[in-house]
């Protein structure tokens, strides 16, 4: 009886160890952390002094089709232009819709301060003509290595020269990035 119960315990322990250490979802979950980042992207519009974006190609069509724009925007903790700087969003957008003004973007968000200083994540996807943009986070560097997720954007404030977007990024990334 004692031998049976101890061999049962042994088998149970073995199964537990197998589940804990070999099952891919469990192993992955232990190495993954989930983050929600909220920040504000500050753009100075095309064609105004000190614009943070420039036309590389301007086809001058109402739907923007074929246009190529390069961006170097800052993102900050708040909607106010003097709220703390967090980092920069750099990359490009291509007018890619024949029906409405809409484009495909390929961008990197990189942090220049705070706990993510020096780390970045990459965003790829379409910005629709209005409403909320929902784009894919396709990877990252530093603390965002192995990142995947999505980022939502919606206009939070405008002036005649600026557009400010509220951004919410939902990221799954490596818990302890190795160097």
Ligand X SMILES: *[C@@H]1O[C@H](CO)[C@@H](O)[C@H](O)[C@H]1NC(C)=O
Answer for which of 4, 49, 82, 176 binds ligand X (CB under 6 A) is: 49
Binding mask 55-94 for ligand X (x = CB under 6 A): -----x----------------------------------
Q: Distance between alpha carbon 150 and the CA centroid of its chain, in Å?
A: 6
Binding mask 12-31 for ligand X (x = CB under 6 A): --------------------
Residues 74, 52: contact at Cβ < 8 Å? yes
Of 130, 176, 167, the C-alpha closest to 149 is 167
48 binds ligand X (CB under 6 A): yes
Stretch that binds ligand X, among 1-9, 42-50, 124-132, 147-155 (CB under 6 A): 42-50
Residues 13, 5: contact at Cβ < 8 Å? no
Residue with tokens 């003097």: 82
What is the nearest approach in angstroms of ligand X to the Cβ of residue 44? 8
**Number of C-alpha atoms within 13 angstroms, CB side, residue 164?**
16
161 binds ligand X (CB under 6 A): yes
Beta-strand runs (E) in the chain: 32-44, 53-57, 68-76, 85-95, 103-111, 120-127, 133-141, 148-158, 162-174
Answer for which of 3, 25, 160, 178 binds ligand X (CB under 6 A) is: 160
50 binds ligand X (CB under 6 A): yes
Stretch that binds ligand X, among 46-54, 64-72, 88-96, 100-108 (CB under 6 A): 46-54
């Amino acid at each position: 009886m004692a031998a049976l119960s101890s061999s049962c315990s042994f088998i149970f322990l073995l199964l537990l160890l197998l589940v804990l250490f070999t099952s891919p979802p469990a192993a992955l979950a232990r190495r993954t952390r989930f983050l929600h980042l909220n920040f504000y992207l500050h753009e100075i519009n095309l064609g105004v002094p000190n614009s943070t974006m420039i036309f590389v190609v301007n086809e001058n069509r109402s739907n923007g089709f074929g246009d190529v724009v390069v961006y170097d925007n800052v993102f900050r903790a708040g909607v106010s232009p003097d709220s703390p700087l967090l980092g920069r969003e750099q990359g490009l957008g291509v007018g890619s819709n024949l029906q409405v003004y809409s484009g495909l973007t390929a961008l990197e968000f990189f942090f220049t301060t705070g706990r993510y200083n020096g780390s970045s994540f990459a965003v790829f996807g379409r910005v629709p003509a209005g409403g909320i943009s929902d784009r894919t986070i396709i990877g990252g560097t530093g603390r965002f290595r192995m990142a995947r997720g999505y980022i939502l954007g919606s206009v939070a404030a405008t002036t005649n020269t600026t557009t400010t977007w509220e951004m919410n990024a939902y990221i799954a990334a490596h818990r302890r990035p190795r160097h």
